[in-house]
Amino acid sequence: MRDFSLSTAALALNTATLGHNMPGAGAGWSAEQTLDACAQRGIGGIVFWRPEIGTRAAQIGQYAQQVGVKVVGLCRAPFLTGPLSFQDSGKIKDDFRKSIDETSLLGADVLTIVVGGVEAGTKGVHESLKYVTERVADVLDYAASNGVRLALEPLHPMYGGDRSCLTTTRDALDICDALASAWLGVAIDVYHVWWDTDLPRQLRRAQGRIFGFHLCDWLAHTTDFLLDRGMMGDGVADIKSLRACVESAGYDGFCEVEVFSAQNWWKRDPADVLDIMVERFRTVC
Amino acid sequence: MRDFSLSTAALALNTATLGHNMPGAGAGWSAEQTLDACAQRGIGGIVFWRPEIGTRAAQIGQYAQQVGVKVVGLCRAPFLTGPLSFQDSGKIKDDFRKSIDETSLLGADVLTIVVGGVEAGTKGVHESLKYVTERVADVLDYAASNGVRLALEPLHPMYGGDRSCLTTTRDALDICDALASAWLGVAIDVYHVWWDTDLPRQLRRAQGRIFGFHLCDWLAHTTDFLLDRGMMGDGVADIKSLRACVESAGYDGFCEVEVFSAQNWWKRDPADVLDIMVERFRTVC
């Protein structure tokens, strides 16, 4: 297992950790200012969200390269199913390709897929997962031709209804097995999987197919479905054990800190948040 | 699979569905009035919560027998682990035995166990599940000597931190395997397990060990961790398929409706809630 106590080269900031800190909101940092703040702290990588990038993907990607911060990935493809999707397979396909284009222009390797919830008119997750499989299959060649790897992210089962009918690493790997492409893998997020005692077994199956590893913590008394994640060390997830499993499965990439936290971390000075994130990465991850 | 369209003999009311409807709250129904309301509608069973019973377990049990409503079970044993438990193994053991006594006095067969969250000073669920196993083992003989079966209820993973480190049917059956007692089984609640694609396989393992089956629905856009359950038919759970799996595993007992719903069902006239519950049971379950 890698020793993170002395180096933050493998640490990546998911900009969600700084909340809606974009021009006109929060501390008002531009993508470039965020990149500078990462570079100053030796944070090796960054993951952006599409609204922060807009039409400036190539420009931001170039700036990241200049300051020596790797753009690890982009969040995220459109919902493929469920009530929050475009609910129009043509629109979904177009936006899916657009998100692949943006990932490529940024110089990032990985596009994260949050699949979407239960498809209208169906019950349970079975049929929705079939749609997900079909819609991912549709874009695999396009992703490959753009050099973009797709990471299916199983979300916590509390999102099963509206955000992700894909709730376990097991289900995500079943889709990977079905589509058998080197361009399709999984993203493992501590927040979504910490409770799953089947995870060690599934991660052994995942050998070579883990395209992302996301850090945060699960607060014992969490109060919000979306915006109450904990910083590493503040919750009950066994982060070190999870990382050991992920690394045993061959993962040697970035560890991406993604803390949605409207009432705590997003209210703080983003410079302080980054400093604490670095310290926690070195000590509790 | 049983046909529920014509009979409600297998339907049980979990009184949580009527909210805090006890003397002094809600419609102010006593346990006896609730039993009358069930009897009038041909609802075959009932499950009470301990605060409604107090020291009147035997008396309420006798009344239930008089009006021909079976007391199916009691909610619930004390939390065995985690931040909401007594955090004192002696107190936990005493109250666990007391809850067994109350179940027996009520004339109910089954005591439901919600195990509690992650034990203080530990990370992940591994160690907590060991404590759970030990603490259940401790009372098994006592339960057997009182004729009370214990039902481990896996809760939705969103409760993993504070209410239940036991989040999957798989983990619950692993504990049952470890303790190998005819007095220990599982309770399967649609709300907690609807997302789990591993469930059909686990329920095949559960043959003869399902001690309870709980009905409600998962609302696609649920807004509260505790008190926003849906009535059957209003959400995205595939209730009929779940019931088919449960019955294939040999379960032929009551189907217990348990809808915690502070903003909707608890605000309605409890007589109407019961009428709608009966109609949904016949048509969508």
On whether any CB of chain B is under 8 Å from the CB of A120, the answer is no
**Residue A6 within any structural domain of the chain:** no
User: Bridge-partner residues for A48, per DSSP?
Assistant: A74
pLDDT at A46: 98
Residues near A253 by beta carbon (within 8 Å), at least 6 away in sequence: A10, A72, A210, A211, A212, A213
> So what's the pLDDT on residue B173?
98
CB contact under 8 A, A219 and B161: yes
- How confident is the model over A7-46, as pLDDT tens digits? 999 999 999 999 977 777 777 899 999 999 999 999 999 9
Q: What average pLDDT does this structure show over A119-147?
A: 98
Q: Give the integer Cα–Cα distance in Å for A3 and B244.
A: 50
Cβ atoms within 10 Å of B84's Cβ, excluding its own: 17
Number of Cβ within a 10 Å radius of residue B122: 17
Determine the residue type at B248.
S
Contact A76, A114 (CB under 8 A): yes
Q: What is the pLDDT of residues B194-244, one digit of tens each?
A: 999 999 999 999 999 999 999 999 999 999 999 999 999 999 999 999 999
Mean pLDDT of chain B: 96
Condensed to tens digits (0 to 9), the pLDDT of residues B102-145 reads 999 999 999 999 999 999 999 999 999 999 999 999 999 999 99
Test the A interface: residue of B163, B177, B195 with most A CBs within 10 Å: B195
Residue (of A111, A268, A285) closest to A187 by Cα position: A111
In a domain, A1, yes or no: no
Tokens coding A104: 């490529």
In 3D space, the residue among A111, A186, A185, A187 whose CA is nearest the CA of residue A143 turns out to be: A111
* Confidence check: pLDDT of A239 > 90: yes
Q: Where are the beta strands (DSSP E) in chain A?
A: 11-14, 45-49, 70-75, 110-113, 149-152, 184-189, 210-215, 255-257
What pLDDT is stored for residue A26 in this prediction? Answer: 74
- Selected for mutation to probe chain B from A195, A198, A221, A232 (highest B CB count within 10 Å) is A195
Q: How far is CA B280 from CA B217, B230, B231, B234, B283, in A?
A: 11, 12, 8, 10, 5
Say if B220 falls within a structural domain. Answer: yes
**Residue B4 belongs to some domain of the structure:** no
Report the phi/psi class of residue A88: left, alpha or beta, with left for phi > 0 and alpha for psi in -120 to 50: beta
Instruction: Give the span between the Cα atoms of B132 and B145, in whole angstroms.
Output: 21
pLDDT at A256: 98
Query: How many residues does this entry show for chain B?
Result: 285
Alpha-carbon distance of B190 to B193, in angstroms, equals 5
**Which residues in chain B have Cβ-Cβ distances shorter than 8 Å to A191?**
none
Residue B5 lies inside a defined structural domain of this protein: no
* Separation between Cα atoms, residue B115 and residue B272, nearest integer Å: 33
pLDDT tens for A200-223 read 999 999 999 999 999 999 999 999
Question: Any chain B CB within 8 A of the CB of A123?
Answer: yes
Q: Would residue B3 count as lying in a domain?
A: no
Domain CATH code at residue A236: 3.20.20.150
Name which of B83, B165, B220 is nearest A161 (Cβ-Cβ).
Answer: B220
Q: Which residues contact A158 (CB under 8 A, 6 or more apart)?
A: A225, B156, B157, B158, B222, B225
CB pair distance less than 8 Å for B195 and A125: yes
What residue of B is the nearest CA neighbor of A171?
A: B197
Task: Give how many domains chain B has, as a whole number.
Answer: 1
* Position B176 confidence tier, pLDDT thresholds 50, 70, 90: very high
Q: What does the pLDDT look like over A155-170, one tens digit per residue?
A: 999 999 999 999 999 9
pLDDT score at A22: 75
Residue with tokens 């690394």: A247
CA angle, residues A193, A199, A200, in degrees to nearest 5:
140
What pLDDT shows up at residue B23?
A: 76
CA distance B94 to B142: 11
| pLDDT exceeds 90 at position B15 | yes
Q: Does A226 touch chain B (CB under 8 A)?
A: no
From B249's Cα to the closest Cα of chain A, the distance in A is 20
CA angle B107, B24, B85 (to 5 degrees): 60
| Amino acid residing at B22 | M
Structural domain containing residue A193: 11-284
Q: Taking the CB of residue B248, how many other CB atoms lie within 10 A of it? A: 14
Q: Residue A2 falls within a domain, yes or no? A: no
pLDDT tens-digit map of A62-104: 999 999 999 999 999 999 999 999 999 999 999 999 999 999 9
List, in sequence order, every beta strand (DSSP E) within A106-208: 110-113, 149-152, 184-189
In a domain, A3, yes or no: no
Q: How confident is the model at residue A260 (pLDDT cuts 50, 70, 90)?
A: very high
Q: Are strands B255-257 and A255-257 parallel, antiparallel or unpaired?
A: unpaired
For the ranges A123-127, B5-9, B26-30, B149-153, which has the lowest average pLDDT?
B26-30
Amino acid at B41: R
The average confidence (pLDDT) of chain A is 96
Residue B20 has pLDDT above 80, yes or no: no
Of B123, B156, B239, the CB nearest to A237: B123
A224-242 exposure pattern, b = at least 16 Cβ within 10 A, e = fewer = ebebbbbbbbbbbbbbeeb
